């Protein structure tokens, strides 16, 4: 299984990873510094004096809650590592957004045919045996793509060889049952990561919550399937008016 290792001690804040992601995913140019439907990764400045930075992006959980919560299988974990999204299956219920413990998926609120948007770990590139665009663009090796267990071993090697420079923690090795984005760095950077993610996999908890409201899930799910079918049908018939309904934007970033 593939993964991405981000080493905050090697990051110089150049944002080549962000620009490469924008280009690879044909996203519009933007100054946004928070994850959005047009930004699948951002670089957060943690300490200006120390020049510490942290990348935010989908963590590509080994056992992802977003996929577990999705009632129609629009999100799924692939054997190669990426957690991928299928727009054709999505009914727009946005349970994935609620279920994600890292607050990652975003929604195209301004679109008539809205998609859930997030990093897909450059799924086509990875399927071709290439590294992700962000890792390829990184000039210092702060973002590195490779096999997950090898990257975990390398992360601990880096920590052990410079114990004063690193917190003794590989974030993502165990959090949420393990993730395919791994983060290491000085304590000041690691403190900016969510400390409340339990070590065990979360999907069974997600399912437990959803299972408490089976009637609501069934009714809302069926309704959304119907609405989605009508929208898709009208689009195909060219019967969509130019009137656009905007929903309120959701708050909060990861």
CB atoms within 10 A of CB 150: 13
Least distance between ligand SF4 and beta carbon 185 (Å): 11
CA distances to 77, 83, 116, 139, 183 from 90, rounded to whole Å, are 15, 14, 8, 37, 30
CB of 175 to ligand SF4, least distance (A): 10
Q: How far apart are CA 126 and CA 120, in angstroms?
A: 10
Binding residue for ligand SF4, selected from 56, 106, 117, 118, defined by CB under 6 A: 118
**Spatial CA neighbour of 102 closest among 188, 184, 198:** 198
Residues from 92 through 111 that contact ligand SF4 (CB under 6 A): 100, 102, 104-105
Here's the x/- map for ligand SF4, 217-246, by CB under 6 A: it reads as: ------------------------------
Choices 107-115, 133-141, 149-157, 185-193 (CB under 6 A): range interacting with ligand SF4: 133-141
CB-based contact 17:140 (threshold 8 Å):
no
Q: Applying CB under 6 A, which of residues 35, 54, 61, 151 lies at the interface with ligand SF4?
A: 61
CA–CA dist 31, 38 (Å, integer):
10
- Told to check if 60 binds ligand SF4 by CB under 6 A, we report yes
Strands 52-57 and 41-47: antiparallel
Task: Summarize as ranges the residues that interact with ligand SF4 (CB under 6 A).
Answer: 11-17, 20-21, 24-25, 40-41, 43, 53, 55, 57-61, 64-66, 83, 100, 102, 104-105, 118-122, 132-134, 137-138, 140, 142-143
């Amino acid at each position: 299984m593939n993964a991405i290792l981000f080493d905050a001690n090697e990051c110089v804040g150049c944002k080549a990873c962000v620009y490469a992601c924008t280009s690879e995913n044909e996203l519009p140019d933007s100054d946004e510094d928070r994850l959005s439907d047009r930004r699948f990764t951002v670089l957060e400045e943690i300490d200006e004096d120390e020049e510490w930075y942290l990348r935010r992006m989908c963590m590509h959980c080994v056992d992802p809650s977003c996929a577990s919560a999705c009632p129609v299988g629009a999100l799924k974990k692939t054997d190669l590592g990426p957690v991928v999204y299928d727009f054709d299956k999505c009914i727009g219920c946005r349970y994935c957004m609620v279920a994600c413990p890292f607050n990652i998926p975003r929604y195209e609120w301004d679109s008539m045919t809205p998609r859930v948007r997030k990093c897909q770990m450059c799924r086509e590139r990875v399927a071709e045996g290439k590294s992700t665009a962000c890792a390829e663009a990184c000039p210092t090796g702060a973002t590195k793509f490779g096999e997950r267990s090898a990257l975990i071993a390398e992360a601990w090697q880096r920590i052990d060889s410079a114990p004063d420079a690193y917190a003794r923690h590989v974030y993502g090795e165990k959090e949420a049952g393990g993730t395919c984005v791994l983060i290491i760095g000085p304590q000041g950077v690691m403190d900016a990561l969510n400390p409340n993610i339990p070590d065990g996999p979360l999907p069974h908890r997600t399912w437990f919550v959803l299972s408490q409201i089976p009637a609501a899930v069934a009714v809302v799910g069926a309704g959304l399937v119907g609405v989605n079918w009508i929208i898709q049908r009208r689009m195909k018939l060219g019967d969509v008016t130019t009137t656009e309904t905007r929903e309120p934007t959701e708050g909060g970033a990861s």
